[in-house]
């Protein structure tokens, strides 16, 4: 049976936090003559290798906006921007060159070399962008799949002849179970239900730091549903690719992100279809990088996440930390949770309990249910008396809406831990029994349930050593 390839438009939810500096935001400030703030924004983006921001710095130096007029500095920034083959940069460079005498041109070239060594294409690519060569990493071994079950094709979708996909994000617990499942994108509730049922039964060998199991956040997986013999609607697909590409080239960080996401979706959804091999597709990571260099928060998170897992690039903990921290500063809750957990447990990055916990709390305060549960778990199970806070743990646990949360195992085990920490052992025992049934349903083994049961039976809270 032949099925059409669905072409999905991307609906993004983007934080409007004013601290998020994108090129569009900086240029808007410039147009409003808020030169001091605009200069700061352009300078930040120039450090990420953004050619347009570098060119605008050159213009501000040439005009003396917020800074003293300086044609040497203006020429150096414009020449740096010309690396991106910007036509405007070439024109401005030519005009500025006429303003400099021989001594001034020599000084401008010297200054350019200094800027190029820090913010030039090669320097930024080496320091910040994905590559094939692995960078610095700690004694971290990521989780490995031990048992995987394939989602069944929903009968009603078979009758409809429908193809589709489900994008999920999840974490992996220290017991190897799949936790904190979030559905990022889906084309059908029935595809979602089938995916969740299968994914909850997966078992991993947990991630380890120096041989000790640790939690791993930010995993993503795309499940695709399509019939054998399906063919790619080549001409229509090429049309959509071109539309996304043109929008990306003419637009800002959001449009670049949408194009990168579309390429990602197309690769996994249509990669096995007849005709796909004839498409000449650009690099996903290249466009995620361009979007991040434009300051787009979600692209920073995606780039940091990909660098953490080596998705179509080499693993590089230093680069991943840079982009994840940038996304966290831009108020991306997922980035705060990802980075917070990694720092708290000392997985990919140097361990810092206070900083890690602060990031997890910030993500929880931002309304992320996975972070609210995680924060409640830590406050109720920590061996550190300065961290242990059962009352606050209960407050954060109660923020999570059970009906909207896909991971019942984490919800119930956290409820048991929080209840026990508040000396409500009856509620703790009831929640743990339900959690045990959830484990049996998906054949997940005992996990932490045995130790928790022993603690609750002895009328004491469950303590988890880090």
Coil, helix or strand at residue 363? helix
Strands 164-172 and 216-225: antiparallel
Distance CA 180, CA 172 (A): 8
Of 203, 202, 201, 204, whose CA–CA distance to 441 is shortest?
A: 201
| Most trustworthy range by pLDDT among 90-94, 211-215, 225-229 | 90-94
pLDDT (mean) for 191-216:
90
Distance CA 115, CA 72 (A): 12
Q: Measured between alpha carbons, how far is residue 312 from residues 134, 288, 306, 309 in Å?
A: 12, 12, 8, 9
pLDDT (mean) for 431-450:
91
Name the residue with higher pLDDT: 18 or 274.
Answer: 274
pLDDT, tens digit, 9 for 90 and up, residues 302-313: 999 999 888 888
pLDDT (mean) for 395-415:
94
pLDDT of res. 165 = 87
Q: In this model, does residue 466 exceed pLDDT 80?
A: no
Q: In this model, does residue 284 exceed pLDDT 80?
A: yes
**CA neighbours closer than 13 Å in the CB half-sphere of residue 171:** 23
pLDDT (mean) for 343-357:
91
The set of residues, in sequence order, having a beta carbon less than 8 Å from that of 387 and lying 6+ positions away, is 353, 357, 378, 379
pLDDT of res. 281 = 81
Q: In this model, does residue 7 exceed pLDDT 60?
A: no
Name the residue with higher pLDDT: 376 or 11.
Answer: 376
- In 32-101, alpha helices (H): 35-46, 51-63, 71-81, 87-97
> What's the whole-number average pLDDT of the chain?
88
pLDDT of res. 274 = 63
How confident is residue 449, by pLDDT bands cut at 50, 70 and 90?
confident
pLDDT (mean) for 170-175:
92
pLDDT (mean) for 376-395:
97
pLDDT of res. 270 = 58
pLDDT, tens digit, 9 for 90 and up, residues 66-108: 999 999 999 999 999 998 767 788 899 999 999 999 999 999 9
| Most trustworthy range by pLDDT among 35-44, 120-129, 344-353, 447-456 | 35-44
pLDDT of res. 208 = 84
pLDDT, tens digit, 9 for 90 and up, residues 23-41: 999 999 999 999 999 999 9
**Which of 19-33, 124-138, 367-381, 427-441 is predicted least confidently?**
124-138
How confident is residue 10, by pLDDT bands cut at 50, 70 and 90?
very low
How confident is residue 429, by pLDDT bands cut at 50, 70 and 90?
very high
E strands in 173-265: 178-186, 203-205, 207-209, 212-214, 216-225
Q: What backbone torsions phi and psi does residue 392 show, to the nearest 5 degrees?
A: -70, -35
Q: In this model, does residue 5 exceed pLDDT 80?
A: no
What are the sequence ranges of the domains in the chain?
23-128, 367-457
Q: What is the pTM of this model?
A: 0.83
pLDDT of res. 46 = 94
- Number of Cβ within a 10 Å radius of residue 388: 17
pLDDT of res. 236 = 80
């Amino acid at each position: 049976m032949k099925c059409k390839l669905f072409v999905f438009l991307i609906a993004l939810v983007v934080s409007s936090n004013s601290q998020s500096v994108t090129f569009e935001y900086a240029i808007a400030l410039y147009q409003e003559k808020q030169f001091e703030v605009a200069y700061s924004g352009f300078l930040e983006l120039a450090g990420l290798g953004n050619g347009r921001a570098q060119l605008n710095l050159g213009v501000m130096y040439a005009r003396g906006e917020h800074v003293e007029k300086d044609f040497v500095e203006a020429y150096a920034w414009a020449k740096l921007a010309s690396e991106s083959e910007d036509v405007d940069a070439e024109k401005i460079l030519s005009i500025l060159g006429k303003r400099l005498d021989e001594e001034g041109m020599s000084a401008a070239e010297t200054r350019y070399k200094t800027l190029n060594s820090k913010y030039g294409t090669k320097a930024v690519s080496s320091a910040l962008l994905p590559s094939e060569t692995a960078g610095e990493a700690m004694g971290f071994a990521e989780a490995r799949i031990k048992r995987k079950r394939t989602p069944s094709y929903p009968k009603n979708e078979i009758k409809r002849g429908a193809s589709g996909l489900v994008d999920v994000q999840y974490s992996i617990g220290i017991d190897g179970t799949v936790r904190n499942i979030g559905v990022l994108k889906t084309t059908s509730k029935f595809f979602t239900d089938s995916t969740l049922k299968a994914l909850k039964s997966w078992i991993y060998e947990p991630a380890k730091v120096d041989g000790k199991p640790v939690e791993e956040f930010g995993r993503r997986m795309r499940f695709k549903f399509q019939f054998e013999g399906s063919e790619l609607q080549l001409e229509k697909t090429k049309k959509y690719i071109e539309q996304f590409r043109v929008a990306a080239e003419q637009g800002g960080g959001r449009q670049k992100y949408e194009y990168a996401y579309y390429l990602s979706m197309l690769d996994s959804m249509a990669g096995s279809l007849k005709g796909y091999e004839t498409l000449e597709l650009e690099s996903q990571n290249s466009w995620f990088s361009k979007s991040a260099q434009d300051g787009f928060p979600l692209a920073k998170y995606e780039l940091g996440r990909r660098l953490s897992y080596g998705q179509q690039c080499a693993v590089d903990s230093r680069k991943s930390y840079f982009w994840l921290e940038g996304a966290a500063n831009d108020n991306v809750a997922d980035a705060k949770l990802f980075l917070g957990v990694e720092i708290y447990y000392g997985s990919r990055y140097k361990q810092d309990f206070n900083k890690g916990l602060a990031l997890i709390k910030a993500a929880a305060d931002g309304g992320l249910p996975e972070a609210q549960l995680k924060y409640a778990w830590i406050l109720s199970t920590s061996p550190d008396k300065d961290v242990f806070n059962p009352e606050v743990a209960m407050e954060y646990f109660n923020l999570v809406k059970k009906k909207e949360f896909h991971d019942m195992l984490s919800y119930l085990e956290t409820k048991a831990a929080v209840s026990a920490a508040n000396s409500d052992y009856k509620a703790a025992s009831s929640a743990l029994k339900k959690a045990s049934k959830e484990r049996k349903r998906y054949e997940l083994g005992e996990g932490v349930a045995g130790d928790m049961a022993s603690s609750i039976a002895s009328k004491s809270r469950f303590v988890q050593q880090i």
